[in-house]
Amino acid sequence: IVDGFIQRMLMPNAKYAFLSTILGLKNSPEITPKLELIEIPTLVIWGDMDPVIPIKYADYFVQKIRDCRFYQIANSGHTPYVEDPKEFIRIVLEFLK
C-alpha cells in the first residue's frame, strides 16, 4: 500500500492533485449540511482504522443521509477499496442488487 502511494505521489502533477484535495476540504462546512438533501439510497463504506477521517465520524454521516447503508471494513484504513478489494467489491455488489 505504501509503495503504491509513493508511486502515485511521484507521478506528474501528483502534487497539484494532492493540494487540490486538501484545498477542497475547506468546503466541508458547506457540504455536510447538504447530506440531509440526498434522496437516493447511499452506500457508505468506512475503514475502521482510517487515520484521515476516523470511524467515530461515520455515525454523523449515517444519521444525516436518509437512506444510508453503512459498512465498516475491519483492519482497513482510508482506502478500503485498495486494502481489502474483495470485501469492498462484495459490499458494493450486495448494495447494487
Mean pLDDT of the 78-90 span: 92
* Average pLDDT for 58-87: 93
User: What per-residue confidence (pLDDT) applies to 62?
Assistant: 92
What is the pLDDT confidence band of residue 75, given thresholds at 50, 70 and 90?
A: very high
- Give whole-number Cα distances, 20 to 17, 39, 52, 82, 88, in Å: 5, 28, 16, 21, 26
The residue ranges of every structural domain in the chain are 1-33, 38-97
Rounded to two decimals, the pTM is: 0.70
Which tens digits make up the pLDDT trace of 7-62?
A: 766 777 776 676 666 556 556 667 778 899 999 999 999 999 988 888 888 998 89
The CATH number of 38-97 is 3.40.50.11320
Q: Which of 95, 87, 28 is nearest to 67 (CA)?
A: 95
